[in-house]
Amino acid sequence: MKNLLGIVFSNSHKHIISELTPNRCMGSLPVGGRYRLIDFVLSTLANSGVEDVGIITQTNYQSLMEHLGNGREWDLSRKSGGLVIFPPFSRTESGMYRGRIDALYSILGYLRSSPATHVIICDCDMIFNTTYEDMLLSHIDSGADITILYKKMPLEADAAKDACVLSLAEDGRVLDVMISPPVAGEHNVYLNIMITSKSLLEYLVSSCYSHNQYSLARDILQAKAGQYHIHAYEYTGYVSRLYSLQSYYDANMALLDPQVRRLLFPREMPIYTRVRDEAPVRYGLGSKVSNSLLADGCVVEGEVENSILFRGVTVGKNAKVKNSIIMQETVIGENSHLEWVMTDKNVTVREGRMLTGFRTYPIYIAKGSVI
């Protein structure tokens, strides 16, 4: 599908989960045992047949670039087009972006030279799976200027802090966009994915830039909801939004539900990720594992319950890991006991340590820590 160009913002929302993002962007947040958050949006684009994707980065993009490589795993390593990564300062007039419009302005040349007629703009802040063919068709059929993806979902007060809530007419037209409103309950939540024609995007970005406006949500969606026909397209599939450390924990734990995995990982719409060539998981003599997800490269000699083990994790003899998220290459020493814990990458928990958080307050252990 050369008529749809994908633009992905890998950095937005990162301030929301600051514990996990001091050295990484949202896109490279490890999730679900073997994924980075950007895998979901990139796979949905690839599974929709989108062949050209530009990734906009801002800070801490080294781990993201390493993860993406040339985009081969998402079949985005193409002879022309394919995956393109835009770091800040990639052009003389670009710099640290104040908002998405600044960033889009700095890649106007890329937009102009693309053969696409339409552009789909996505953030990296949720675990979901879909394709965009129907949304694009709906955009064209409705005659809308902009079509935005939303889902009707219950919103807790803290979730609303990082959400745009839509008020819609019966025909799906967006009447108002409320940014971080003080609301709770069921609402139409914008999922930070929009489709528009490339020509309109070029015009809007140039025009906003000339007025020193930089916020896509505030200066385009909100300010121009009356002036332009903005259409809301409903997403009915599974989604979990990441907007806090707790929501990150919950979103991971939700993957233990077989129903959720069935919705997220259908065979015909795989979620692609970087291949690491790890050996299969080895379960030792004393291993006792229940209700857990494990990625390749793990060695389990102890007990694991209600937990997610990322690639290359070692759980020693008589160690017990419960209700925890253990990221890549973490070593849990013999006789240690972890409950309600999130360890970042390369953490070492020595023998006999006890770490316990609480369901509403899982302990987070920073990358590379030795305990």
Give the Å distances, CA to CA, from 176 to 207, 217, 327.
21, 11, 40
Task: Name the segment binding another protein (CB under 8 A); options: 79-87, 93-101, 208-216, 288-296.
Answer: 288-296
Q: What is the DSSP string of 83-111?
A: EEEE-TTSSTT--S-SSHHHHHHHTHHHH
Q: Is 272 in the site for another protein (CB under 8 A)?
A: yes
**Total residues found in the chain within this entry:** 371
- To another protein, the closest distance from the beta carbon of 132 in angstroms equals 20
H/E stretch holding 44 reads helix 37-47
Interacting residue with another protein among 56, 164, 295, 347 (CB under 8 A): 295
In the complex with another protein, which residue's Cβ is closer, 234 or 305? 305
In the complex with another protein, which residue's Cβ is closer, 47 or 336? 47
Q: Is 284 in the site for another protein (CB under 8 A)?
A: yes
Task: Number of residues interacting with another protein: please give it, by CB under 8 A.
Answer: 40
Positions in 19-48 near another protein (CB under 8 A): 32-34
Contacts 24+ apart (CB under 8 A), 292-301: 292/256, 293/32, 293/33, 293/255, 293/256, 294/33, 295/33, 295/34, 296/34, 301/334
Interacting residue with another protein among 98, 112, 288, 359 (CB under 8 A): 288
Residue with tokens 């979902």: 153
Task: Name the segment binding another protein (CB under 8 A); options: 130-138, 166-174, 254-262, 360-368.
Answer: 254-262
What's the one-letter identity of residue 352? G
Q: Is 352 in the site for another protein (CB under 8 A)?
A: no
What's the one-letter identity of residue 25? C
Instruction: Please list, in sequence order, all residues whose beta carbon lies within 8 angstroms of the beta carbon of residue 129, skipping any fewer than 6 positions away.
Output: 40, 43, 44, 237, 238, 263, 264, 265, 266, 269, 271
Positions in 313-332 near another protein (CB under 8 A): none
- To another protein, the closest distance from the beta carbon of 63 in angstroms equals 19
Q: Is 297 in the site for another protein (CB under 8 A)?
A: yes
- To another protein, the closest distance from the beta carbon of 206 in angstroms equals 40
Strands (E), 143-217: 146-155, 164-168, 174-179, 185-197
**Angstrom distance (rounded) from CA 89 to CA 271:** 31
Interacting residue with another protein among 126, 264, 327, 338 (CB under 8 A): 264
Interacting residue with another protein among 165, 294, 332, 347 (CB under 8 A): 294
Q: Is 362 in the site for another protein (CB under 8 A)?
A: no
Q: Is 260 in the site for another protein (CB under 8 A)?
A: no
- To another protein, the closest distance from the beta carbon of 72 in angstroms equals 7
Output the CA torsion 276→279→283→284 (10° steps). Answer: -120
Q: Is 206 in the site for another protein (CB under 8 A)?
A: no
Interacting residue with another protein among 22, 154, 226, 270 (CB under 8 A): 270
Task: Name the segment binding another protein (CB under 8 A); options: 112-120, 199-207, 215-223, 272-280.
Answer: 272-280
Instruction: Please list, in sequence order, all residues whose beta carbon lies within 8 angstroms of the beta carbon of residue 330, skipping any fewer than 6 positions away.
Output: 310, 313, 314, 343, 345, 346, 347, 348, 349
Task: Name the segment binding another protein (CB under 8 A); options: 92-100, 169-177, 266-274, 333-341.
Answer: 266-274
Pattern of binders to another protein over 60-79, x per CB under 8 A?
A: ------------x-------
Pattern of binders to another protein over 132-171, x per CB under 8 A?
A: ----------------------------------------
Contact 312, 299 (CB under 8 A): no
**Angstrom distance (rounded) from CA 270 to CA 166:** 30
| 82-86 and 52-56 strand pairing | parallel
Residue 366 phi, psi dihedral angles, 5° rounding: -70, 155
Q: Is 296 in the site for another protein (CB under 8 A)?
A: yes
List of residues contacting another protein (CB under 8 A) = 32-34, 72, 255-256, 258, 261, 264-265, 270-273, 275, 277-297, 299, 304, 308-309
